[in-house]
């Protein structure tokens, strides 16, 4: 049976300070992200047991938990790689051209993603995604980890808008957290994902 594992952070806990505190990063990665990894593995075991026991009753509830935990694991793994102590600034090249084509300009895109993150009611994520059917970039406001997504869209850049992502440092001022995140966005990582998401030759 496949097992999910907690990836190491690509930098030290204090590497994103002052924008994200070491205390937040240690707790966020070691406790919160780990809980989704453990949750995904546990649900897989429970689905295995339900399948073997021909227990149809519990499958529906387990599928909802599976979507939650796997999506939490996927998004946190992406979030760590989207950030870097050497990040910040603005995208360049094809990614910048794509942003200009689908959002007008970088400033407008940045404002839209910040607004998507800041206006989530409850827990969720703001996301820049490549949507392959329309062959365009979209911003999405994901609820929890898995709701209000667009099926098939490939996440390129995500901002965690759960309280656990900012509350120790920013308290009720979550918009300040999202503004700070722009200082550590790893545009090289986002650009690589953009290149990989698109069929070759497509701009
Ligand atoms: Mn989180």
How far, in Å, is the centroid of ligand 1 from the Cα of 52? 33
Q: Which two tokens stand for residue 93?
A: 């090249």
How far, in Å, is the centroid of ligand 1 from the Cα of 159? 9
14 located within any domain: no
Residue 46 and residue 71 in one domain: yes
How far, in Å, is the centroid of ligand 1 from the Cα of 164? 6
Q: Which two tokens stand for residue 78?
A: 């992406």
Residue 121 and residue 192 in one domain: yes
Residue 97 and residue 189 in one domain: yes
Dump pLDDT digits (tens) for 66-103. 999 999 999 999 999 999 999 999 999 999 999 999 99
144 located within any domain: yes
Residue 190 and residue 138 in one domain: yes
Domain interval for residue 67: 21-82
pTM comes to 0.96
The dihedrals phi and psi of 84, each to the nearest 5 degrees, come to -160, 145
Q: How many domains does the chain have?
A: 2
- Residue 127 in contact with residue 158, Cβ under 8 Å? yes
Residue 169 and residue 109 in one domain: yes
How far, in Å, is the centroid of ligand 1 from the Cα of 115? 18
How far, in Å, is the centroid of ligand 1 from the Cα of 101? 30
- The three-state (H, E, C) secondary structure of the chain, written as one string: CCCCCCCCCCCCCCCCCCCCCHHHHHHHHHHHHHHHHHHHHHHHHHHHHHHHCCCCCCHHHHHHHHHHHHHHHHHHHHHHHHECCCCCCCCCHHHHHHHHHHHCCHHHHHHHHHHHHHCCCCCEEEEEEEECCCCEEEEEEEECCCECCCCCCEEEEEEECCHHHCHHHHCCCHHHHHHHHHHHECHHHHHHHHHHHCCCCCC
Q: Which residues of the chain have pLDDT under 50?
A: none
How far, in Å, is the centroid of ligand 1 from the Cα of 161? 7
Dump pLDDT digits (tens) for 13-26. 999 999 999 999 99
Best CA proximity match to 160, nearest among 103, 64, 80: 80
Residue 59 and residue 26 in one domain: yes
């Amino acid at each position: 049976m496949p097992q999910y594992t907690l990836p190491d952070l690509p930098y030290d806990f204090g590497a994103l300070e002052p924008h994200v505190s070491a205390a937040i990063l240690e707790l966020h990665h070691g406790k919160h992200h780990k809980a989704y990894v453990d949750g995904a593995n546990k649900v897989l075991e429970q689905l295995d047991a339900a399948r073997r026991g021909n227990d149809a009753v519990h499958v529906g509830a387990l599928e909802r938990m599976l979507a939650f935990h796997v999506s939490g694991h996927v998004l946190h793994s992406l979030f760590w790689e989207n950030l870097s102590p050497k990040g910040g600034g603005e995208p360049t090249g094809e990614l910048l051209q794509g942003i200009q084509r689908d959002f007008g300009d970088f400033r407008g895109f940045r404002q839209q993603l910040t607004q998507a993150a800041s206006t989530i009611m409850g827990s969720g994520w703001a996301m820049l995604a490549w949507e392959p059917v329309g062959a365009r970039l979209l911003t999405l406001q994901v609820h929890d980890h898995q709701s209000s997504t667009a099926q098939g869209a490939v996440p390129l850049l995500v901002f965690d808008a759960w309280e656990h992502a900012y509350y120790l440092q920013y308290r009720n001022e979550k918009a300040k957290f999202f503004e700070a995140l722009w200082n550590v966005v790893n545009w090289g990582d986002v650009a690589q994902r953009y290149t990989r998401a698109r069929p070759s030759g497509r701009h």
